[in-house]
Amino acid sequence: MNYERIKEKLEILADAAKYDVSCSSSGSKRQNKNKGLGDSSGMGICHTYTEDGRCVSLLKILLTNVCIFDCAYCVTRKSNDIKRAAFTVQEVVDLTINFYRRNYIEGLFLSSGIFKSPDATMERLIRVAKKLREEENFNGYIHLKSIPGASDELMQEAGLYADRLSVNIEIPTKEGLKLLAPDKDHKDFIKPMKAVQNSIQIYKSEKKLIKNTPIYAPAGQSTQMIVGATGESDRDIMYSANFFYNKFQMKRVYYSGYIPVANDSRLPAIGTEVPMMRENRLYQTDWLLRFYGFNIQEILNESHLNLDMDIDPKLSWALRNLDQFPVDINKADKRMIARVPGIGMKSVGKILSARRYRKLNWEHLKAIGISMNRSKYFLTCNSREFETRDLTSAKIKSLIMLNSKSKYRKNFNYQLNLFS
């Protein structure tokens, strides 16, 4: 083995993989200073989380950064003058096993540029996973990227070796994809998603009848969208995400703030700030849809196309629906308690449990851990003290933000409007 060549490939292909954020947040540039610990600007090993909350380290690389497509937003596009490299199947297997034995990693996150054809690329990705499972008896986590346009047969085989499969939808709208990646067809992204979903259902059904049926993609499938490369609204993005959750039972949809990598009139200029705050608000909205019982139309619609950047989406919804507040914390149902700003789902459970034994007052709610700065304007409890002023939405927002401890606070102006 030529170690210098392997090291060079690793530097090139780990760096190219850092733009895929399906297992982490994007855009951070925090570097190690003064001989401190950690460095978020690095690449090569990323972290993901299991269902029980464990943090798992993954070797995150591309099989190759050679690509037959010329997507404007992608650093590996064929017209980009960069150094190219490709691992052999055996090289990826050896790296994974050697890193695992040294306790550097607990799994593999493998993606690839598309060389020759989608099927040729997908076949080689599968060979890596198959070799790890069958020849090396590797039982660590494997996340394989599904190549858009790959055949159903290959997708069915991939799930027998990988824990998770994912197809990056890349651009949230068909129009945006046509503008930035005219060689690609939106249908090619949907096809492998359907194949994976069908296979998951078939293998689950067979498992009920035949116990030794193999488990297919036990961690399900996920997708990722680039945010801010085109002029899509937050409504466009979240409606797409909602579609993928409902249609293909996605485990996760990831939102990746666009990192400018090309001088192209269709894209934000190089040096433009990565939309980290927007990315954060989209994740918060995603959370509200999946765990808080919100409907997407309640948060984003024709009259509210984009999320507020200075406040979170739940507070924004509450301020637009003051007629539904205040709620009596000792009588309200679970759905309505979950909609009170400053109350998370864990606190909702604690409140429902605690009020079976006593009527809750402010001290009880504070002990449970709800954010009083936000919630006090939206609820009443077993106390004579509660907000009695007839406050407008703008004034409530200003009062909350004046006492906010958010790290983004400095980015916004919370001066009360003269007429609020």
Identify the pLDDT of residue 404. Answer: 75
Q: Measuring CA to CA, how many Å separate 203 from each of 141, 197, 244?
A: 20, 10, 21
Percent of the chain at pLDDT exceeding 90: 71
Identify the pLDDT of residue 354. Answer: 97
Mean pLDDT of successive 10-residue stretches along the chain, which has 420 residues: 87 85 48 56 64 78 94 91 95 94 91 94 97 94 92 94 91 92 91 93 93 91 92 95 94 90 88 91 96 96 95 96 95 97 96 96 95 93 83 92 71 50
Residue indicated by tokens 């705050």 = 277
Contact 361, 382 (CB under 8 A): yes
Q: Which two tokens stand for residue 196?
A: 């994976």
Please list, residue by residue across 383-409, b when 16 or more beta carbons sit within 10 angstroms of its beta carbon and e when fewer do: eeeeeeeeeeeeebbbbbbeeeeeeee
Residue indicated by tokens 């930035």 = 180
pTM for this one?
0.86
Domain ranges of the chain: 3-21+43-225, 313-411
Identify the pLDDT of residue 295. Answer: 96
Calpha distance 327→75 (Å, rounded): 50
| 3 state SS of 68 | coil
Q: Measuring CA to CA, how many Å separate 358 from each of 163, 214, 355?
A: 46, 50, 5
∠ CA 211-216-222, rounded to 5°: 150
Calpha distance 282→293 (Å, rounded): 16
Closest to 108 measured CA to CA, from 124, 118, 93: 93
Query: CATH number of the domain at 3-21+43-225, please?
Result: 3.20.20.70
Where in 162-320 does DSSP place strands (E)?
164-166, 221-227, 252-257
Residue indicated by tokens 């765990």 = 291
Identify the pLDDT of residue 385. Answer: 81
pLDDT tens by residue, 123-167 = 999 999 999 999 999 999 999 999 999 999 999 999 999 999 999
Strands across the sheet containing 107-111: 45-49, 55-62, 107-111, 141-145, 164-166, 221-227, 252-257
Calpha distance 333→338 (Å, rounded): 9
Identify the pLDDT of residue 28. Answer: 46
